[in-house]
Structure 1
Amino acid sequence: MPARDKRKPRIRLSCTFCREKKLKCNRQHPCDSCVRRGLGVFCDYISENRSASHVQQRWPSIAVQPAVVQEQNREAEHASPSASLPGKIIPSQDGTRYINSAHWQAILDDINMVERITNDKEPRDERRPDGPLLLFGLTLPVSKVQLLAGLPPRPVMNRLLSRFFNSRESPLVMFHPPTFEKEYIHFLSNPEAVNMAWLAVLFGVLCCSSRFQTGGADDSSLFDNCLFHTAQCLAMANYTTPGRYKVEAMIMYLGLEYLKASDAQVGVSVLTSILTRLAVHMGYHRDSKHYPRISIFDGEMRRRVYLYLVMLDSALSSQAGVPQTVPKSQSDTELPRNLLDEDLHPDMTVLPPSRPETDLTPVAFMLIKKRLLNIATEIADIASSVDGRSYDQVLYLDQRLQEFYHNIPPLLRMRSSVTSIIDPPDVILHRYEHALSFQRERCMLHRRYLSQSRHDAQYAYSRWACLDAAQMILRYQVDLHGESALGEQVRSSGAIFFSSLTTGKYLTAAMIICLELSFRAVEDHAAVQAEDQHILRENLVQSLQTSHGIWMASRGRSEEARKAAETTGFMLGLTRFRAEVQTEDVIPASGMVGQADAYPMGNPVELIPSLELLQGMLNDPSRFDWCLWDTTF
């Protein structure tokens, strides 16, 4: 029996990367070699006495992931390729939360970052309600006199009302300016006789107008005060019972709470359910032609209000990851006609025919968006269906998406930023909103085939469509949020546009590119180069890096922006590390050109788990659980 070698094992002084590449390591953390290559977040040292328990203690939130991945892989072997899970239930110490397969938190959950990131958020002010004021932020009851005293001075009110009714923001579709002007004059003549729900509408309009344009601290204070008084008026009016102006007031309030939050909130989703019930109790879901006691004018305005409610419900439900609340099967309310305000008046007896969509009336944008919503609803249904879907159905919906976009009036169809610079900001925003929504639905329709296309050529089109749409979305992000003249122009007039709804579209695109890069990191390098010359890895990385830079610049504005910045930074670091290890084709941190150089790169070293555990999670992207990925939008 040979004698046992009693020499002590050689102590490994170099980091894992320098040892792998046989480079000189200065033993810092991070070392100079890793820093020069932009791999500082992955500089790690392995000592002989480091045990598995050490890793588990350092990263408790991901210690069980290799076993989870193995179990998912076993399940994937027996799963139908077209089957999709109905949603994700995310447990926490406060209970469980259900999110369907079109929500963004599953993407973070799937790369095991959701717990680490969400538990690392900034401490919130316990004195401020973390949700809608109307649900649990109101304290002492107030009188009508106190509410009237909360209105800004009349010159300020007049200025804000003029700003609102001369804008083209979407809430304007619910109001008929000449009628509102008469009601406002009547209110000024006798404020004490005001209807509390109408006063809530007034506060809501003032609040909304204060956010249309960038302003100083005074505008911010005005927004908060008007929002608070809007909630107080609704509470005094008993918003749970039917009444004139209540649906309009609730819609305004709901949109303002959403705008204030910047991030998706469960409370806003709960308020949506209350609002929908109120509208149904008041019969908004039935067309007014069935009820002769409803005037022609009121019937058309009710159609506009109901359309806005349907659009709002779809957007908020999609972001919250829950089913829509509007009862489609029980509704027969027709779409409003494309009419100007001067085409309508309270004493009208005949409704004029609809104008062509080339006439940009207040309702034109909503009518176009509703056509896309009809397709998007079908896409969401098959994405969340437990019965799976046929690929023919996917291609059919893709064709309908293409037809929708080509039928958009030319004035509202996307064009280059150079030819848009002299156009009105509202027209530019409508173009981008149509284009962003169109590209996002392409992503949602085709993303599940990003994996299957690598093994079945019939899905190659879906892979291309998904990546093409994701890159277009991130290109729009640069246009609107970057250092361009166009971005400055729309930011000065589109406060509502830069809400969490748009954030969700950018996150979806970034996560799809992250996954594609994860696929390529574990595939044969030569084969990938030969197959994917039309989708260059460098272009994908640059798109992701530019998006990450924009998130980094805005990470202090909302929790979603912070999580997006950390997640995209994490994936960029992982992608750069694998490219270095496998091909020695280093992409330096400063090597990107164009817009990417204008934004800082983050250093999320505190959030990065050990590389060994991450490899167990991402080594087989072909079995990537889309349901987990999805729960982040």
Structure 2
Amino acid sequence: MCRHQPFRGSNPGIADALISVYAETNLSYPVICVESERCDVTARAHVPHVPEEAFLDPGATIPASTGSVSISDRPNGSSDTDHTRSERSGSQSPLPASISGVAPSTSAIFTTNAEENANTASVPLDGGYMKYNNIGTANYVGSSHWAAVLDSISELKENVEQQEEIRNMATDFNPHNPVHSSSPRLLYGCQQATKAEIISSIPPRRAADRLVSRYLTLDIPSGIFHRGHFLVEYDNFWKDPSGTSVMWICLLLTIMCLGELDQHSQTPTGNTPQVPTLDNSPTSSINLFRERIVQCLVLGNYTKGGPYVIESLIQYNMIEHFLRRDAQFEIWILLGMLIPISLRMGLHRDPKHFSEIPAFAGEMRRRVWATIFQIDIGFSALAGLPRMIKPQQCDTEEPRNLLDSDFDENTLELPQSRPESEVTPVLFLLAKNRIISVGGLICDLAHDIRPYPYAELMRFEKLLRDTRNSLPASLRWQPLSQSITESPQTLMQRVYLDMFFYKMQIILYKRYLSASMTQPQYTHAREVCLDSAINILEYQHLLDEETQLDGRLSSIGWTYSLILNDDFMLSASVLCFYIKQYSGDYKNIIDEETFQRIQSLLRRSHDIWLRSSSVSDEAQKAVRSLGVILGIQLPREDGEIADQLFGGSEDFFSQFNNPASWPVYQGEKPVSTRSKLVLCSHVAELNSTQIIYHAPTWPPFTG
């Protein structure tokens, strides 16, 4: 018998568990066969073991493991799928430590029975969304993107495309449109500078300390560098600035730029902290940092790699990402520069294979790779395109759950990982890595152009659910009323992880939405998508309230706003699909109460997007699309927003003007109210303002 050796990481249990499901799904995975070339067996990517009795027929309900989050843990207090979910007794299969190194290959071959193939073949492939004009310009996003859902609704497709064409024409013929000033300068070039010129633009230490301190409060540092090691280097820089490498200076500039973004996010307009936006003035402090970062990268020959290059590129990607209200393809192009350099530096291979890499450097490489892996999946999803990293070619282990004080550059052997009941700055990186790894597998399936059996989706759903249930308890969603002592960072991390779970469920089953209208065996897919979309929009409303100046997330929400808005758009698109079907020939797909609930959720989301529609093209699309579906007219410029937005319905508005009445608070007494006129005038105010970055106030650096 052939002895195939699947490429495994350090944990053989992962391989054994994951092979079991992929052996069933026939998603091929590369192996090293040490004997015969005649062997045609392929090892499979790793997913937790699913017992045979859990492989359900199409249309059946999928059992939840005993570790699933209880009903009271939901933002809305509801179960995952109101109609079909049930708890299952028995032991829960624990999630392996990491599954980021494996995924279905692009040569997936399904060997299923004829009946299952026939059922699958009856469902049309998700072809994604292609916009192609008469001069040959083409724009494509995959089926997992919200635009592909809108494209399936004929009324919205025509309306949105027409408005987008008008905006594009206005942009093309505007002679004052600063295309390159707002675009990533690493793509379009910038004026070169000497090292001395770059150093001269660094603020004095007291101002720099404030920016660095702000940066260190964000979630970013744990995946980029060791705090103790950085602070030593930071102190050395001030002792001898000119003797510091230009790439370390580049890293410092990215840190200060992110710190300034955080600082300006706390500059209020009205009652709302600001999501940072671009100010194209050449004297803008943010623009100055952006320019200097690119100049450092060029001066340091960044394409050759080396110390601090990857860390600087990661943070430069984040800066350009945070500065935008809408997902932009340019950010994905920047990612295409980061990933090849990281591969060239061997970050995708675990340091244990290379004895010359010290323990400290090896662990930091693992943290950086985990960050790159997550960015790849996240930014690719925003672009609606396949991810770039091929996980079957990577074996870097996940980093250990360690405090930075547990090891340093003098450490010869890393200590054992701390238990996950012990919260460390790197714990969120680990949790996110695990659930995003499963999300990557699901996105791979969504982008696969071949049909795949419906039953396999249920197996992936169980994998996703098991992964979520095995996340550290400190990072599982709890209602706000039960999280009084938690930090804003912890609350936001919980929201992100839970929303990612729901988003992946939508992506997993979205292809079967249309088929479920006429084929009862796909009812489960419809109910999962409905439940997930509702949960995500309830999170949108929660975040909208809690990111106000007096909210618990006002200091941190801006860092998640763009990537979460994509989830909101996807969910709203799915619910628009439900409304169109319910209003047509399929009134039996949901009951009247659920229909009214969906309408209320979408009206609230319409209000939220209306506030940012003056600075966000995607928000404009959402407002117009929801206006078409819900019959809401756009507000006139005379300020008469109330009647047009809410149709004069005090009952509707009163449902949402008191956040303490939302189910997430679990019945707490109302604590405040807000009138419709106050909100509507606030909408008008927000539509006319945005943050402006001012020139640096510090004197020139003198050394």
Structure 1: runs of 5 or more not aligned: 1-77, 576-586, 604-633
1:311 correspondence with 2:374 = yes
Deviates more, 1:405-414 or 1:211-220: 211-220
Of the two structures, which has the highest relative contact order with CA contacts closer than 8 Å and spacing of 6 or more?
Answer: 1
The superposition leaves residues 310-349 of structure 1 with CA deviations (integer Å, 9 ceiling, x where unpaired) of 1011111111122212232221111111111101200101
**CA distances 1:582-614 after superposition (whole Å, capped 9, x unpaired):** xxxxx955252422785659x9xxxxxxxxxxx
CA distance in 1, matches of 2:547, 2:198: 43
Q: 2:624 matched to 1:566?
A: yes
**1:162 Cα deviation from its structure 2 partner:** 1.9
SS in 1 for 2:496: helix
Selected match of 1:595 from 608, 633, 656: 656
Q: For residue 91 of structure 1, what is the aligned residue in structure 2?
A: 132
d(CA) in 1 for partners of 2:547, 2:410: 48
Offset of residue 82 of structure 1: 3.5
How far did 1:132 drift?
0.9
Q: Is the 8 A contact 1:552 1:600 kept in 2?
A: no
Aligned mates of 1:257, 1:87 — CA distance in 2: 26
Cα distance in 1, alignment partners of residues 130 and 218 from structure 2: 39
Aligned to 1:175: 225
User: What is residue 360 of structure 2 aligned with on the other side?
Assistant: 297
Structure 2 contact 130–140 (Cα < 8 Å) conserved: yes
Q: Which amino acid aligns with 1:454?
A: M
Tell me, what secondary structure is at the counterpart of 1:285? Answer: coil
Q: 1:487 to 1:473 in 2, by over 3 A?
A: farther
Q: CA deviation at 1:524?
A: 6.0
Contact 2:386–2:443 (Cα < 8 Å) also in 1 = no
Q: What RMSD, in angstroms, separates the aligned Cα atoms of the two structures? A: 2.8
**Which of 454, 464, 474 pairs up with 1:391?**
454
1:199 maps to a residue whose letter is I
SS at match of 2:348: coil
The answer to whether structure 1 residue 120 and structure 2 residue 166 are counterparts is yes
Equivalent of 2:211 in 160, 169, 176: 160
Q: Which structure shows the higher helix fraction?
A: 1
- 1:458 to partner: Cα distance: 2.1
Residues in 2 aligned to 1:456 and 1:108: alpha-carbon distance in whole angstroms: 22
Give the distance between the partners of 1:173 and 1:559, measured in 2 at CA: 31
Determine helix, strand or coil for the equivalent of 1:496.
helix
The alpha-carbon distance between structure 1 residues 299 and 565, as it changes in their structure 2 partners (threshold 3 A), is same
- Do structure 1's residue 105 and structure 2's residue 157 form an aligned pair? no
- Kept in 1, the 8 Å contact 2:120–2:451? The answer is no
Pairs within 5 Å for 1:337-356: 337-356=400-419
How far apart are residue 102 of structure 1 and its match? 1.5
Matches within 5 A, 1:124-523: 125-129=176-180, 130-138=182-190, 140-165=191-216, 167-213=217-263, 214-216=265-267, 221-482=284-545, 488-498=551-561, 500-523=562-585
Shift of 1:382: 2.1
Per-residue deviation, 1:518: 0.2
Give the C-alpha shift of residue 552 in structure 1: 0.5
Q: Classify 1:85/1:467 alpha carbon distance in 2 versus 1 (closer, same or farther; 3 Å).
A: closer
SS of 1:300's partner is helix
Taking the aligned partners of 2:319 and 2:548, their CA distance within structure 1 comes to 28
Correspondence for 2:636: none
Q: CA deviation at 1:223?
A: 2.8
- Residue 89 of structure 1 aligns to a residue whose secondary structure is strand
Tell me the TM-score normalised to structure 2 length. 0.68
Q: Report the alpha carbon displacement of residue 137 of structure 1 after superposing the two structures with TM.
A: 4.6
> Distance between the aligned counterparts of 1:352 and 1:305, measured in 2?
19
Question: Are 1:174 and 1:248, in contact at CA under 8 Å, matched by a contact in 2?
Answer: yes
CA 1:185–1:549: 2 relative to 1, 3 Å: same
Q: Deviations over 1:411-455 (max 9, x none)?
A: 211122222344210010011001110111111112222222222
- The answer as to whether partners of 1:89 and 1:99 remain within 8 angstroms in 2 is yes
CA distance in 2, matches of 1:495, 1:351: 35
Instruction: Give 3-state SS (helix, strand or coil) of 2:478's partner.
Output: coil
Question: 1:119 & 1:189 partners in 2: Cα distance?
Answer: 55
Deviations 1:79-115 (A, max 9, x none): 9334424544322447222322222322344432332
Change in CA separation of 1:225 and 1:358 when aligned onto 2, cut-off 3 Å: farther
How far does residue 232 in structure 1 lie from its aligned partner after superposition?
A: 1.5
Instruction: Name the structure 2 match of 1:631.
Output: none
Which position in structure 1 is the counterpart of 2:61? Answer: none
Instruction: Single out whichever of 338-347 and 397-406 deviates more from structure 2.
Output: 397-406
Q: TM-score, normalised by structure 1?
A: 0.75
Kindly tell me: are residues 430 and 253 of structure 1, through their superposed partners in 2, closer, same or farther at Cα, counting changes over 3 Å? same
- 1:550 Cα deviation (Å)? 0.5
User: CA deviation digits over 1:353-410, x for unaligned, max 9?
Assistant: 1112222222211211122122212222222222212121111111122222222222
Q: Distance in 1 between matches of 2:238 and 2:311?
A: 20
**What do the CA deviations read for 1:545-571 (whole angstroms, capped 9, x no partner)?**
011110011223322222222222222
> Are residues 574 and 488 of structure 1, via their aligned partners in 2, closer, same or farther at CA, if it must alter by over 3 Å?
closer
Does the 8 A contact of 2:442 with 2:507 survive in 1? yes
Q: Which has the larger radius of gyration?
A: 1
Deviations 1:102-138 (A, max 9, x none): 2232234443233223223374752342521111151
SS of residue paired to 2:563: helix
Superposed structure 1 runs of 4+ greater than 6 Å apart? 217-220, 483-487
Q: How does 1:31-42 map to 2 (within 5 A)?
A: none
Question: How much identity, in percent, do the aligned residues show?
Answer: 29
* Aligned counterparts of 2:166 and 2:498: Cα–Cα separation in 1: 34
Residue in 1 that maps onto 2:88: none
Cα distance change of structure 1 residues 393 and 195 upon mapping to structure 2, 3 Å threshold: same
Deviation at 1:259, TM superposition (A): 1.0
Match 1:553 to one of 598, 604, 611: 611
Post-superposition offset of 1:503: 0.8
Does the CA contact (< 8 Å) of 1:109 and 1:115 recur in 2? no
Asked whether the equivalents of residues 129 and 151 of structure 2 are also in contact (C-alpha less than 8 Å), the reply is no
Aligned partner of 1:70 in structure 2 is: none
SS in 2 for 1:97: strand
Offset at residue 168 of structure 1 (A): 4.2
The yes-or-no answer on 1:537 pairing with 2:588 is no
1:487 deviation in Å?
A: 7.6
Alignment match, 1:34 = none
**Any conservation in 2 of the 1:211–1:496 contact (CA below 8 Å)?**
no
Q: 2:141 aligns to what SS in structure 1?
A: strand
Residues 548 and 554, structure 2, Cα contact 8 Å, conserved in 1: no
Q: Which residue of 1 aligns with 2:122?
A: 81
CA positional deviation for 1:208: 0.9
